[in-house]
Every structure is written in structure tokens, then in C-alpha cells.
Amino acid sequence: MGILEKIAEIEHEISRTQKNKATEYHLGLLKAKLAKYRQQLLEPTGKGGAKGEGFDVMKSGDARVAMVGFPSVGKSTLLSSMTSTHSEAAGYEFTTLTCIPGVISYNGANIQLLDLPGIIEGASQGKGRGRQVISVAKTADLILMMLDAGKSDQQKMLLERELEAVGIRLNKKPPNIYVRQKKVGGVKFTNTVPLTHCNEKLIMTVLHEYKIFNADVIFREDCTVDEFIDVIQGNRVYMTCLYVYNKVDQISIEEIDRLARMPHHVVISCEMNLNMDYLLEKIWEYLALVRVYTKKPGNAPDLGPEDGIILRGGATIEHCCHALHRSIAAQLRYAIVWGTSTKFSPQRVGLHHKLDHEDVIQIVKK
């Protein structure tokens, strides 16, 4: 029996098993086995044949955004309208057969936008070049899930299921669980909060399935057995995702209102150029990029459209120094900052001061 058949068998067993106190250990064991088989499917250990052609696209710009969706939802049209790159768009499915990169220039930042081929159901198992598409999506900072507003919500569930199967968790935080393997001493289980989804016996069952017999496990929040399995696997990617509903010009205003009010949702029409500026604002917000300006002593700050340094959200003075030159951080005496990150303007700060968007910084060396 191959891995795909084993996965199908376990999924069928999980779907027909009732969820109650008596079956939770059996379900936990099945989920652990399912995660192991899916891992083997993604990283085959055997000597395979010739290596397939991938979508290796060089990372450029300040951030990377990947568009994921079923065929003919408007990914290529969106790329052509938001960037200067032309991606072939037509009325038939699978117009795009490889990864096409474009660059969005916004707020002085260059954001790389990837138009990936449409994925089909079963992509996580390798159907329709799905694995290559999903592996590129894993390298992005933000996923734009392109959906057709005229179709049912089933498409969103199917895409989420495909991404979940390969270890991409959308709009979730990593579970606050500590696991450290030891050589001796057995399993020591501790929880700092009351647990409603797991208990010690279930945790032991899952650990034994992974052949872990000596470990320290600390639950710092009430997590499910699936989240515990994610921590043991250790290769899950937690990403922000924006659900973009295209072709809203073909549905009623009530349906547009319903979709637009849902969390992480944006409604647009590529064909009629509706709401595209709002989508750009949301991409900037979800990437959490920060633009800071530099100032020389005695001079006015450089506030031009091409000036400024693009940093990630939560960046400090140290990150800013590294962005300018790698030797500056070691020579820093202090920095003077004007902007919303300070208690008063200007403020003298050190290396670990966090910067806000549109702060002005002046560096003083030793």
C-alpha cells in the first residue's frame, strides 16, 4: 500500500469516527500518523527519478507576496494591472503555466508579486504541479488567496485544506507549547493553564507514535492535539493571508457587503478596476512594513518619494543601522529620533529602540 492510499484510509477512518471522550485517544493517534505520512509525501526519502522543473524565482524587493487560487480567478489580470509586468490572461483555464514575478512600487517600497499557476484539488499530493506552487508560496511574506466572488465559499475551504495539508497555517499564531527531547528521564508533562482539548494520556500517545520517550513538555495555553502535532513536526509555516474576492461586478450589492465585512477579506474587480487602491493599502498593512527617513546633522531630513529605508514591523535602530551599513551598529554612540515612536521629539535613544512608520532618524557615531 502506497503513502497516498494510507493517507486516504486514515482520512476516511477519521471522518467516520465519532468525536467523544472514548475515541479521543484513537483520533489523536490517527492524526499523528496522518501528519507523519504527509511529511513523507512532501519529503520523499527514496532515490527518485529525474528532478522536475521547479518555479525557482529569485527573491527581490522589500517583501514577497504570492497569489494562490484556482484557475481563471483573475490572478494574471491582477498582476498586469498592479505591476508593469504583463501576464497572459485568457478565458480558458491554466493560461499561466509557470511563476511570473512583478514588482509593486508603493510608499517607496518594492513589493515582489508572484503570479502562480492555478492549483486544483489534490495539489498537496502533487496533482497539477501543486507541490511546486505551494513550495513557492511558503517562501512569501503574505499570501493573497484569489477567489471568484460568483462561486460558493467551498472554494475557500478547499484551498485552505490544501495549504493546511502541506504545513501552511493561515492567520494563526504558533502554539505556545515547549517541547525538549532528552536522553533519559521519561516524559515530564506540565501545563500552566487548564486544558480542555488535551490531557496527559493523549500527549503520551502522540509522543510514543513519534518514538519520543524522554522529553519535557510544557503547555502554556489551551491547545488542541493538532497544534501539539505541529510543534513536534517543527516545520509548520505560520503566514498572514488576505482573501481577495474578484469579479464582484457580477454579484449583488448585498453579497458584496457580506463578503467585505468578513475578517481578512477584500472585494475587488480587476476587469473594472474597482477597489484596487484599498487592496494596495491592505497589502501594506498586512506586510507590516515601516519606512524611516535619515537625517544628516545640521541638514533637513531627506523626505523625497525615493528616499527612506524600508524595514519590517518591529524593527529597531540596530536593524536600521544594518540596512545602511553593517559596520555602523558597532560604532553607534546614540541615535536621535523624531516621530511617533518617541515619548517626546526629538529623543535620544539606543540600539534597541523600536521604530514606527515615517520616523526620522539621525545617527551619532562614537
H/E run at residue 28 = helix 24-42
**Residues written for the chain:** 366
What is the distance between the alpha carbons of residues 340 and 344, in angstroms, rounded to a whole number?
Answer: 9
Q: Indicate the fold that domain 63-89+97-171+237-286 takes in CATH.
A: Rossmann fold (3.40.50)
Exposed/middle/buried for residue 105 (C-beta within 10 Å: 0-12, 13-18, 19+): middle
**Strand pairing report for 347-349 and 360-365:** unpaired
What is the distance between the alpha carbons of residues 351 and 357, in angstroms, rounded to a whole number?
Answer: 17
User: How far is the CA of 217 from the CAs of 15, 130, 179, 187, in angstroms?
Assistant: 29, 35, 5, 7
Domain limits, the chain: 3-44+175-233, 63-89+97-171+237-286, 289-365
Query: How many whole angstroms from its chain centre is CA 102?
Result: 19
H/E run at residue 363 = strand 360-365
C-alpha cell at 210: 513519534
H/E run at residue 41 = helix 24-42
**What pLDDT score was predicted for residue 49?**
42
**What pLDDT score was predicted for residue 203?**
87
What's this model's pTM, rounded to 2 decimal places?
A: 0.79
Contacts of 246 (CB under 8 A, 6+ apart): 73, 74, 77, 78, 146, 147, 148, 149, 268, 269, 270
Candidates 31, 27, 36, 30; CA nearest to 3 is 36
**What pLDDT score was predicted for residue 124?**
58
Q: Which residues of 246-283 are buried (b: 16+ CB within 10 A; e: fewer)?
A: bbbeebeeeebeebeeeeebbbbbbeeebbeeebeebb
Query: How many whole angstroms from its chain centre is CA 101?
Result: 18
| 83 DSSP assignment | S
Contact between 40 and 115 (Cβ < 8 Å):
no
**What pLDDT score was predicted for residue 353?**
92
3-state SS assignment for residue 246? strand
**Bridge partners for 113 per DSSP:** 65, 102
H/E run at residue 162 = helix 154-165
Domains 63-89+97-171+237-286 and 289-365 share a fold: no
Contact between 114 and 64 (Cβ < 8 Å):
yes
What is the distance between the alpha carbons of residues 203 and 223, in angstroms, rounded to a whole number?
Answer: 11
Task: Give every residue of the chain whose pLDDT is below 50, as ranges.
Answer: 45-53
Residue 87 exposure: Cα atoms within 13 Å on the Cβ side: 27
Exposed/middle/buried for residue 218 (C-beta within 10 Å: 0-12, 13-18, 19+): middle
**What pLDDT score was predicted for residue 278?**
92
**What pLDDT score was predicted for residue 267?**
92
CATH top-level class of 289-365:
alpha beta
Residue 352 exposure: Cα atoms within 13 Å on the Cβ side: 0
**What pLDDT score was predicted for residue 50?**
41
What is the distance between the alpha carbons of residues 337 and 359, in angstroms, rounded to a whole number?
Answer: 7
What is the distance between the alpha carbons of residues 270 and 276, in angstroms, rounded to a whole number?
Answer: 8
